[in-house]
Amino acid sequence: MREIRQIVDNKFDLAVVGGGPAGSLIAALAAEEGFSTVVLEQRIMPRSKPCGGFISARALSLLPPDLDPDRGPGENVHTLRVIKSARSFTYCSPGRLGLLVKREHFDHFLLRQAAGKGARILEGFTLRDLKEPGCFSGHVDCYRLEAAEEKTTNIFARYVVGADGALGRCGFLGGLRKTGINPCARGLSELVETGTGHAVGKDKAGTLEFYPLPGLGGMGWSFYGSGWVNRGVGGLFGPGLLKKAYRELFAGELPGSGPSWWPLPFLGPLKKAGRKNLLLIGDAAGLVEPFSGEGLFNAFKSALLAFYALKKAEQLELEAGGIYNRLYQKHFKSAFLPTLIGAFALHSRAVLNPASLPRHMASLMNNQLSFTRQFKPWT
Ligand SMILES: Cc1cc2nc3c(=O)[nH]c(=O)nc-3n(C[C@H](O)[C@H](O)[C@H](O)COP(=O)(O)OP(=O)(O)OC[C@H]3O[C@@H](n4cnc5c(N)ncnc54)[C@H](O)[C@@H]3O)c2cc1C
């Protein structure tokens, strides 16, 4: 998919930095709406990303029907199991709890959809610097986005969406975040191919297994696809302790090439996510769910809110950042404390009453817990 042609016209209405799920969704929506849109992605797709690969039902409900990943490979999930102190508690849902995917395929699928809607995709473009709106090379009121790669053309855009993930630079360059890694949880995962005939995974395809690890303020998991398993550990501690927990949890199981870790930023709602015409979404805005480490629901939700802010900014001739900050306050900041208390309650339940945990986790996946707010943009 790499675009190697020299860009002749390097000015766009919107530059989206990062071609992960959050960036691809807003790029698809904006391009369809008529914004000239470019996605700047440092890697060449398909690329891997440490992740469990589970897209919950509530996250799927936020994708427009024509971006539904059901058309690609994936495993419908109906069974959720919590295993604690050698006891196992299972919940079988009548409806689908979500879809299990390999992230490299899913992310590539979404980015291709954005390209299909008219967004330009520039892979191998690593944002190095972002200059405040000004008049550059005759482009008025545009941000200038500079690449780290030599001989790569600068991009000019009236709006910039930072969808560059937990370690992205947009927030820092745009004056919204400090440099370095902000306080966050962490997760590590690996995908192990078992083959379809393997005894472990054969009957479990479409099952999520969770192993509460209260000492780490987190949990481990095995998510079973057809012929593969995604296993990992997440929690509040550093990669060293997580790796130790991982080795203990999966000792004696099929060996893999080793897990990779990545931050799980969840404190973003305490900060602003928009300034002038720069908006942060997804992990770049720090929107991971603090109990489960689920990030895709809020990645999609923030992409939809940012898209709404862009449209309003065009109509009202206002800065998109101010509009987005008000939406962000309502949908993320005001919900933050209840979500944190809810996360604490669920962690306590994992210790005190694990039998009820699978049902509560299923409710979270369907956005039916009391601390979650309904958000249904497509109905
Ligand atoms: C171990 C682990 C397990 C997880 N499991 C789940 C799960 O099962 N379900 C779930 O919902 N969530 C899960 N999450 C969270 C989920 O992976 C993230 O929330 C999600 O990927 C966020 O999407 P995003 O588009 O915001 O960012 P990302 O997916 O991180 O995409 C950001 C993109 O920006 C690009 N980029 C970064 N910097 C630059 C730059 N300077 N210039 C250009 N491009 C750049 C990156 O290459 C990347 O492609 C998990 C996270 C971890 C760490």
Residue 297's CATH number? 3.50.50.60
Q: Considering its fold, how many domains does the chain have in total?
A: 2
**pLDDT band at residue 377 under the 50/70/90 scheme:** low
- The residue that leads in pLDDT, 66 or 229, is 229
CA distance 322 to 291: 29
Q: Are residues 195 and 331 in the same domain?
A: no
Q: Are residues 32 and 82 in the same domain?
A: no
Residue 5: the pLDDT is: 40
Q: Are residues 236 and 188 in the same domain?
A: yes
DSSP output for 108-143: HHHHHHHHHTT-EEEET--EEEEEEEEEETTEEEEE
Q: Which atom of ligand 1 is nearest to the CA of 169?
A: 41
| Most ligand 1 atoms within 8 A of CB, residue of 80, 216, 231, 283 to mutate | 283
Q: Are residues 190 and 45 in the same domain?
A: no
Q: Are residues 87 and 148 in the same domain?
A: no
Residue 342: the pLDDT is: 86
Q: Are residues 39 and 109 in the same domain?
A: yes
Residue written as token pair 């962490």: 186
Enumerate residues 6+ apart whose C-beta is below 8 A from 95: 57, 78, 366
Q: Which of 236, 264, 292 lies at the terminal end of a domain, its last residue?
A: 264
User: Residue 356 falls within a domain, yes or no?
Assistant: no
Q: Are residues 23 and 95 in the same domain?
A: no
- The residue that leads in pLDDT, 16 or 226, is 16
Prediction pTM value: 0.95
User: Residue 367 falls within a domain, yes or no?
Assistant: no
Residue identifier of the C-alpha nearest atom 51 of ligand 1: 51
Q: Are residues 192 and 334 in the same domain?
A: no
Phi, psi of 148 (to 5 degrees): -75, -30
User: Residue 298 falls within a domain, yes or no?
Assistant: yes
Write the pLDDT tens digit of every residue in 4-44: 344 546 999 999 999 999 999 999 999 999 999 999 999 99
Q: How far is the CA of 50 from the centre of ligand 1 (A)?
A: 8
Q: Which of 243, 264, 285 lies at the terminal end of a domain, its last residue?
A: 264
User: Residue 316 falls within a domain, yes or no?
Assistant: yes
CATH assignment at residue 88: 3.30.9
Q: What is the average per-residue pLDDT within 162-170?
A: 96
Is a pLDDT exceeding 90 seen at residue 196? no
Write the pLDDT tens digit of every residue in 168-181: 999 999 999 987 76
User: Residue 169 falls within a domain, yes or no?
Assistant: yes
User: Residue 141 falls within a domain, yes or no?
Assistant: yes
Q: Are residues 195 and 325 in the same domain?
A: no
Residue 2: the pLDDT is: 44
User: Residue 148 falls within a domain, yes or no?
Assistant: yes
CA distance 69 to 46: 15
Q: How far is the CA of 199 from the centre of ligand 1 (A)?
A: 31
Residue 103: the pLDDT is: 96
**pLDDT band at residue 220 under the 50/70/90 scheme:** very high
Q: What is the average per-residue pLDDT within 324-348?
A: 90
Residue 324: the pLDDT is: 98
**pLDDT band at residue 289 under the 50/70/90 scheme:** very high
Residue 353: the pLDDT is: 87
Q: Which of 239, 264, 289 lies at the terminal end of a domain, its last residue?
A: 264
Which residues lie with the beta carbon below 6 Å from any ligand 1 atom? 17-23, 40-43, 49-54, 59, 125-127, 163-165, 168-169, 187-189, 232, 234, 262, 264, 282-284, 288, 293-296, 299
Is a pLDDT exceeding 80 seen at residue 215? yes
Is a pLDDT exceeding 70 seen at residue 379? no
Q: Give the H/E segment covering residue 12.
A: strand 11-17
CA distance 272 to 328: 8
Write the pLDDT tens digit of every residue in 247-268: 999 998 888 899 999 999 999 9
User: Residue 377 falls within a domain, yes or no?
Assistant: no
- The residue that leads in pLDDT, 159 or 141, is 159
Is a pLDDT exceeding 50 seen at residue 331? yes
SS3 state of residue 39: strand
Residue 115: the pLDDT is: 97
**pLDDT band at residue 230 under the 50/70/90 scheme:** very high
**Domain coverage including residue 239:** 60-100+184-264
Q: Are residues 198 and 325 in the same domain?
A: no
- The residue that leads in pLDDT, 295 or 339, is 295
Residue 6: the pLDDT is: 44
Q: Are residues 213 and 151 in the same domain?
A: no
Is a pLDDT exceeding 60 seen at residue 239? yes
- Mean pLDDT score of the chain: 91
Q: Are residues 112 and 159 in the same domain?
A: yes
